[in-house]
């Protein structure tokens, strides 16, 4: 959409406000709201803000920053109306010198997609995002009590079901095109799957989906959380991400009818890169201390670094469907992370695999959880990092992640997440008090 088209749409639809959105380093959506009368000025000149107040952005000495709305990201928020009718636009971030700001997560994703475009490829992603709908206290505080006690694909008739349907309606109204939604394995857990889009548009939509989901849940008196593992003993929430490369003519680069499993050399090497760099990119894909409570055996979450066509215990899966539908599914990301950074490092690893011609090992269709440690060692199957501290150490040594993110995001992410890990590691948990205090 062109700038002139945005202005005309705002006038025609009688939009009163524009939310200018961007994310901090962790993926938290930030927003500045302007009246629609200021839209033309914002498109031409941008809107200035204090970058020193945004996590992972800038120091006080370099705090003057500017937001420039991206016209292609314009959508009207369908739950707003009349004098409060509001549209949203995602923004590019510029520093005080007028250059694209190196700490803007969206800019990192733009850079890696430009590398792919030089090869004639467009990167597409399609996330499946899971979340919990929880009950609240009388004061509106979230609890760990699920909104229902359904299971996988269960047909429910409760508030949670209605919330999910309303979210889907609003996402479709914004042009996001939901492919499917359903109840997930755990009580109160739901999944919504979006149709594929180019990686930048897809990341924009993930940020918006979180906002929509929380907004609609609150409207129904529930709390939506993207915490990977909020409830002990049940499945956690992931964000399985389907990735494909397409030519500008619409040909799927990953498909080769004569290749192994009907996969092209590029597809195999893309998988090889994701496997080679799996431990290095893990801190970005699973970015909280709680993420590693999900990445444990027994709950359908990937623990071991392998790939397969059918095996859902694998780190990477190649789903059924070939020709235009050929894609790679990465199963370790979770919805608590920053989608721009998550897509950046996955694409960086895959593209590096193609560049370096890294072929993957043979696919493993057995249930890896049931293998003995000796069997996994014999087959060369490594594990993902066991906790955030280990993942950060793998990331710290990674040339690939540093080049993909740039020095600013790389160092700031490590700094912020090390503080999280150190603070978490010093906590005395209820488990320790309950199990150790009576004995020691």
Q: Is 179 a catalytic residue?
A: no
Three-class DSSP category at 118:
helix
- pLDDT score for 96: 82
Q: Do 42 and 134 belong to one domain?
A: no
Q: Do 189 and 310 belong to one domain?
A: yes
Q: Do 49 and 190 belong to one domain?
A: no
- pLDDT score for 157: 61
Q: Is 191 a catalytic residue?
A: yes
Instruction: Decide which of 101, 122, 146 is a domain's last residue.
Output: 101
Instruction: Decide which of 84, 101, 118 is a domain's last residue.
Output: 101
Q: Do 36 and 133 belong to one domain?
A: no
pLDDT tens across 2-49, in order? 899 999 999 999 999 999 999 999 999 999 999 999 999 999 999 988
pLDDT confidence tier of residue 369, bands split at 50, 70 and 90? confident
- pLDDT score for 121: 97
- In 3D, which of 314, 289, 302, 316 has the Cα closest to residue 392? 289
pLDDT confidence tier of residue 310, bands split at 50, 70 and 90? confident
Q: Do 394 and 331 belong to one domain?
A: yes
Q: To the nearest whole number, what is the mean pLDDT of the chain?
A: 91
> Which CATH number fits the domain that encloses residue 21?
3.10.20.70
> What's the start-to-end Cα distance of the chain, in Å?
66
Q: Establish if 308 belongs to a structural domain.
A: yes
CB 348 within 8 A of CB 307: no
Q: Is 240 a catalytic residue?
A: yes
Strands 328-330 and 223-225: unpaired
- Give the global pTM: 0.94
> Considering 161, 184, 266, 280, which one is annotated as catalytic?
184
Please count the structural domains in the chain: 2
> Considering 24, 92, 166, 191, which one is annotated as catalytic?
191
Q: Establish if 439 belongs to a structural domain.
A: no
Q: Do 302 and 414 belong to one domain?
A: yes
Q: Do 363 and 264 belong to one domain?
A: yes
pLDDT confidence tier of residue 62, bands split at 50, 70 and 90? low
Q: Establish if 129 belongs to a structural domain.
A: yes
Q: Do 61 and 187 belong to one domain?
A: no
Q: Do 249 and 341 belong to one domain?
A: yes
Strand ranges, E, within 271-344: 304-308, 314-317, 328-330
Q: Do 296 and 174 belong to one domain?
A: yes
Q: Is 266 a catalytic residue?
A: no
> Which CATH number fits the domain that encloses residue 195?
3.30.590.10
Q: Is 128 a catalytic residue?
A: yes
Q: Is 50 a catalytic residue?
A: yes
* pLDDT surpasses 70 at 60: no
Q: Establish if 217 belongs to a structural domain.
A: yes
Q: Is 331 a catalytic residue?
A: yes
CB 335 within 8 A of CB 226: yes
Q: Establish if 435 belongs to a structural domain.
A: no
What domain range includes position 193?
110-426
Q: Establish if 433 belongs to a structural domain.
A: no
User: What one-character-per-residue DSSP string does 65-88 give?
Assistant: EEEEE-GGG-EE-TT--GGG-EEE
CA distance 413 to 26: 8
- pLDDT score for 364: 87
238: left (phi over 0), alpha (psi -120 to 50) or beta: beta
CB 209 within 8 A of CB 201: no
Instruction: Decide which of 67, 101, 135 is a domain's last residue.
Output: 101
> Considering 240, 276, 279, 412, which one is annotated as catalytic?
240
pLDDT tens across 284-302, in order? 999 999 999 999 887 778 8
Q: Do 90 and 127 belong to one domain?
A: no
Q: Establish if 349 belongs to a structural domain.
A: yes
CA distance 151 to 236: 13
- Sign, CA torsion 264/268/271/272: negative
> Considering 92, 161, 166, 329, which one is annotated as catalytic?
329
**Between the ranges 96-100, 310-314, 399-403, where is the mean pLDDT highest?**
399-403
pLDDT tens across 384-402, in order? 999 999 999 999 999 999 9
Q: Establish if 440 belongs to a structural domain.
A: no
> Considering 70, 104, 128, 204, which one is annotated as catalytic?
128
Q: Do 87 and 137 belong to one domain?
A: no
Burial class (CB in 10 A: 0-12, 13-18, 19+), 425: exposed
* pLDDT surpasses 80 at 132: yes
């Amino acid at each position: 959409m062109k700038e002139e088209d945005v202005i005309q749409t705002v006038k025609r639809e009688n939009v009163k406000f524009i939310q200018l959105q961007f994310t901090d380093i962790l993926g938290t959506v930030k927003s500045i709201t302007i009246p629609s009368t200021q839209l033309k000025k914002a498109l031409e000149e941008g809107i200035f803000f204090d970058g020193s107040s945004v996590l992972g952005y800038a120091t006080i000495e370099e705090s003057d920053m500017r937001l420039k709305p991206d016209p292609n990201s314009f959508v009207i928020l369908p739950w707003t109306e009349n004098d409060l009718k509001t549209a949203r636009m995602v923004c590019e971030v510029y520093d005080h010198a007028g250059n694209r700001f190196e700490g803007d997560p969206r800019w990192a994703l733009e850079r890696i997609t430009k590398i792919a475009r030089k090869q004639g490829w467009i990167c597409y992603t399609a996330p499946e995002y899971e979340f919990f709908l929880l009950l609240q206290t009388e004061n509106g505080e979230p609890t760990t009590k699920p909104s229902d006690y359904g299971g996988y694909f269960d047909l429910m008739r409760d508030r949670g079901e209605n919330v999910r349907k309303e979210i889907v309606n609003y996402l479709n109204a914004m042009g996001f095109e939901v492919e499917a939604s359903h109840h997930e394995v755990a009580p109160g857990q739901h999944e919504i799957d979006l149709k594929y889009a180019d990686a930048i548009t897809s990341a924009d939509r993930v940020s918006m989906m979180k906002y929509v989901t929380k907004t609609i849940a609150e409207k129904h008196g529930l709390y939506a959380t993207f915490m990977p593992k909020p409830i002990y003993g049940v499945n956690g929430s992931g964000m399985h991400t389907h990735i494909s490369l397409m030519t500008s003519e619409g040909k799927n680069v990953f498909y080769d009818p004569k290749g192994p499993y009907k996969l092209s050399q590029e597809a195999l090497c893309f998988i090889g890169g994701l496997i080679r760099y799996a431990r290095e990119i893990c801190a970005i894909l699973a970015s909280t201390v709680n993420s590693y409570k999900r990445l444990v055996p027994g709950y359908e979450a990937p623990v071991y670094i392998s790939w397969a066509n059918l095996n859902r215990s694998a780190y990477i899966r190649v789903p059924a469907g070939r020709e235009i539908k050929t894609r790679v599914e990465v199963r370790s990301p979770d919805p608590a992370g920053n989608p721009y950074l998550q897509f950046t490092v996955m694409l960086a690893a895959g593209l590096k695999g193609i560049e370096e011609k890294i072929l993957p090992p043979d696919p493993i269709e057995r249930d890896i959880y049931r293998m003995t440690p000796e069997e996994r060692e014999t087959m060369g199957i490594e594990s993902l990092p066991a906790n955030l501290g280990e993942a950060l150490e793998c990331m710290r040594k990674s040339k690939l992640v540093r080049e993909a993110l740039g020095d600013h995001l790389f160092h700031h992410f490590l700094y912020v997440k090390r503080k999280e890990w150190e603070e978490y590691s010093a906590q005395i948990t209820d488990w320790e008090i309950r199990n150790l205090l009576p004995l020691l």
